[in-house]
Amino acid sequence: MLQWIADNPRIFTVALQNHLWISAAALAAVLAIALPLGLALTRRRALAGAAIGIVNVLRTVPSLALLVIMLPVLGTGFLPSVVALTLYGLPALLLNTYTGLTEVDRDIVDAARGQGFSDRQVMTRIEIPLALPVVFAGVRTAAVQIVSAATLAAFIGGGGLGELITSGMANFNFPQLVAGALAVALLALAVELAFAALEWVMTRSTGLRD
């Protein structure tokens, strides 16, 4: 693996950069959609059941199937890969956001309202800080899922480390195949550890840990 990377540094670097770029774009889209939507659903409980049902359906669809579904709609390349990965990572964060916010102790919320807190103050000072560990766990799960599934973007021209794997299999180039596979595994592990550390720092800064 290391020898192949040393012999082909440009190929590996380009594949890694593409993988990170696709994953980052998809995660940013998930954050932009899931966080406000999860918050809105806590204020519109009548719509929550339908929305959660839809995202639960998305959870049952394999990541490769989502990528293939994008082909007749958006074609091949970067955009369909990002859209498919966004749909794949959305359920974890949306469900965690909704669950974390709805499980905040109502007595605490009522006490805050009794002290004259506005709805906005209750949300920013009480609900979001208390829900943060659950929400961030959803961010971490979505990030790892997206980084792992981004490997399959190579099948629809999205690039990334998956290209090393598919090309290695096609050409019986096992060092290249192993380099791609291990790089994806190590990248997913690095993302998991990085987000776990960030979660610890954020929850500690909000006073949610001893």
For residue 210, being part of any structural domain is answered with no
CATH of the domain at 14: 1.10.3720.10
**22-45: string of b/e by CB count within 10 Å (b at 16+)?**
bbebbbebbbebbbebbbebbeee
Q: 83 or 210, which is more confident? A: 83
For residue 39, being part of any structural domain is answered with yes
Inform me whether the pLDDT recorded for 190 exceeds 90: yes
pLDDT tier at 207, thresholds 50, 70, 90: low
Determine the average pLDDT of the residues in 121-136: 81
Q: What is the DSSP letter of 31?
A: H
Q: Quick one: 89 exposed, middle or buried, by C-beta within 10 A (0-12, 13-18, 19+)?
A: buried
Q: Which of 105, 117, 129, 122 is nearest to 208 (CA)?
A: 129
Q: How far apart are CA 97 and CA 104, in angstroms?
A: 11
For residue 174, being part of any structural domain is answered with yes
Number of domains observed in the structure of the chain: 1
pLDDT tier at 58, thresholds 50, 70, 90: confident
For residue 161, being part of any structural domain is answered with yes
pLDDT at 21: 93
For residue 151, being part of any structural domain is answered with yes
Domain that holds residue 148: 2-205
Inform me whether the pLDDT recorded for 117 exceeds 60: yes
For residue 62, being part of any structural domain is answered with yes
